[in-house]
């Protein structure tokens, strides 16, 4: 794929069936690999992040076959030593560190891009508290040399919910153990996704206000697991509809645990109605409201909300997003900087953004910062640009939505 894409304003019309949720597929792959037996995961998703988790599962846990779906065909013996490249996937490293520690295998984890700069400190603090033996050079590479002991595990919940998910996935492997979250938990919907999927694989989890978690049961295969559509990626098409598109979106569950389904409520706050096919229609209030949105539970929506706010309300303030500075890019700085370069009016805050209404963008050359969500947000922003937008690093979409550019071109026809 070309590293740059030129996107011009054009009517976007047609149908999009959403690919499987990346968040759901990560968790289901790990649960299926821990369960043994035969599990068929469908529909197929092979984004770069999912390939990183799939490879980790194959290396440490299970036999996996990929065709039109992903078939996990039973556990294999733990390797005495192994190496796992998590590529640029924060979910893979943060989920697998606790799981591998609970299994007690000697494994070295590495990563690429900005992943070695993304924090693992809460897990290292937990390892230190429990006397678990490991070696780390900064964050990565890290080598596990021990088996995590059962008991009470304590970790902060204000850095990333991914640490909580990893430990929850590990708890059934440890026996009589509980997880205590020592600070308020951010991004609770992602933990809800974890609890729901673990339940489908035989694990019952209870908690006290997301602070003390305990589990019961053992992993077992449900046979077939159907992965619901991805609301995080659907948000790009729904905002495109708010900007004038007519895209019917399918394969989304209204009764989802995915927090990014909140895009529907936010569109309504901006003065839109949303149909059953997720077509978006103005109710005549566009541009009149100032909104303040706490995005601590929906951080992945920030880049596309910055596009929505630029055209669909007088002012939108996004708060609770400080940890976005530690994503594939400094996502707050990248979102504000690239959209402002195109003519937007966005002020960067320590933990968020203030987005003011503009009538249109003027086009130009921008960078994705190797961040899939920045690349897709800039592409949708082009629908309100008077001149083409050239997006460098367009192949960043491979991380979560490999077919994004093909879908965009198809919707222009």
- Report residue 335 as tokens: 């979102």
Give yes or no for a contact between 377 and 391, defined as CB atoms under 8 angstroms apart.
Answer: no
Sign of CA pseudo-dihedral 149, 200, 16, 410? positive
For residue 294, which of 351, 219, 248 has the smallest C-alpha distance? Answer: 351
Give yes or no for a contact between 102 and 73, defined as CB atoms under 8 angstroms apart.
Answer: no
Radius of gyration of the chain (CA): 21
Give yes or no for a contact between 68 and 207, defined as CB atoms under 8 angstroms apart.
Answer: no
- Report residue 108 as tokens: 């070295």
- Report residue 215 as tokens: 């589990």
Give yes or no for a contact between 311 and 330, defined as CB atoms under 8 angstroms apart.
Answer: no
Please count the other Cβ atoms lying within 10 Å of the Cβ belonging to residue 222.
16
DSSP H helices in 201-320: 231-242, 263-269, 302-312
- Report residue 33 as tokens: 């690999």
**In angstroms, rounded to a whole number, what is the distance separating the alpha carbons of residues 17 and 25?**
17
**In angstroms, rounded to a whole number, what is the distance separating the alpha carbons of residues 28 and 366?**
36
Q: End-to-end CA distance of the chain, in Å? A: 21
Spacing of C-alpha 36 from chain mean position: 26
Give yes or no for a contact between 278 and 248, defined as CB atoms under 8 angstroms apart.
Answer: yes
Give yes or no for a contact between 105 and 173, defined as CB atoms under 8 angstroms apart.
Answer: no
The active-site residue, picked from 49, 297, 300, 392, is 300
* Spatial CB neighbours of 128, under 8 Å, sequence gap ≥ 6: none
For the question of residue 176 being annotated catalytic, the response is no
Give CA angle at 161 (99, 367), nearest 5°.
Answer: 105
For residue 319, which of 289, 286, 347 has the smallest C-alpha distance? Answer: 347
* Neighbouring-strand partners of residue 353: 318, 348
Task: Point out the residues that are catalytic.
Answer: 300
């Amino acid at each position: 794929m070309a590293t740059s894409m030129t996107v011009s304003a054009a009517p976007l019309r047609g149908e999009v069936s959403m690919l499987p949720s990346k968040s759901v597929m990560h968790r289901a792959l790990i649960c299926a690999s821990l369960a043994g037996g035969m599990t068929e995961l469908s529909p197929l998703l092979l984004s770069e992040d999912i390939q990183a988790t799939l490879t980790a599962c194959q290396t440490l846990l299970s036999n996996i076959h990929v065709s039109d779906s992903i078939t996990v065909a039973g556990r294999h013996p733990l390797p005495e030593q192994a190496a796992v490249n998590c590529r640029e996937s924060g979910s893979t490293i943060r989920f697998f560190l606790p799981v591998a520690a609970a299994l007690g295998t000697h494994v070295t984890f590495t990563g690429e891009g900005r992943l070695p700069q993304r924090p693992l400190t809460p897990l290292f603090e937990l390892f230190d508290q429990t006397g678990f033996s490991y070696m780390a050079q900064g964050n990565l590479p890290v080598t596990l040399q021990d088996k995590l002991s059962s008991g009470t595990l304590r970790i902060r919940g204000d850095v990333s919910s991914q640490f909580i998910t990893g430990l929850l996935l590990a708890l059934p492997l440890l026996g009589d153990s509980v997880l205590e979250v020592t600070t308020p938990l951010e991004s609770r919907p992602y933990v809800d996704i974890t609890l729901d999927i673990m339940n489908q694989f035989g694990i019952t989890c209870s908690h006290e206000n997301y602070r003390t978690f305990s589990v019961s049961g053992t992993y077992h295969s449900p046979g077939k697991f159907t992965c619901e559509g991805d609301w995080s990626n659907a948000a790009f098409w729904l905002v495109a509809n708010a900007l004038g598109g007519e895209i019917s979106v399918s394969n989304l569950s209204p009764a989802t645990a995915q927090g990014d389904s909140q895009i529907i409520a936010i569109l309504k706050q901006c003065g839109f109605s949303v149909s059953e096919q997720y077509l978006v229609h103005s109710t005549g209030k566009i541009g009149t409201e100032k909104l303040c949105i706490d995005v601590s539970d929906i951080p992945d929506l920030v880049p596309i909300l910055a596009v929505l706010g630029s055209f669909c309300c007088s002012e939108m303030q996004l708060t609770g997003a400080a940890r976005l500075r530690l994503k594939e890019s400094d996502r707050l700085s990248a979102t504000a900087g690239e959209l402002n370069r195109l003519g937007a009016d966005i002020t960067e805050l320590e933990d968020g953004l203030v987005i003011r209404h503009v009538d249109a963008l003027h086009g130009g050359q921008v960078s994705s910062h190797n961040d899939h969500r920045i690349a897709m947000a800039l592409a949708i922003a082009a629908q309100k640009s008077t001149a083409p937008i050239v997006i460098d690093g367009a192949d960043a979409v491979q991380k979560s939505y490999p077919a994004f550019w093909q879908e965009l071109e198809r919707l222009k026809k």
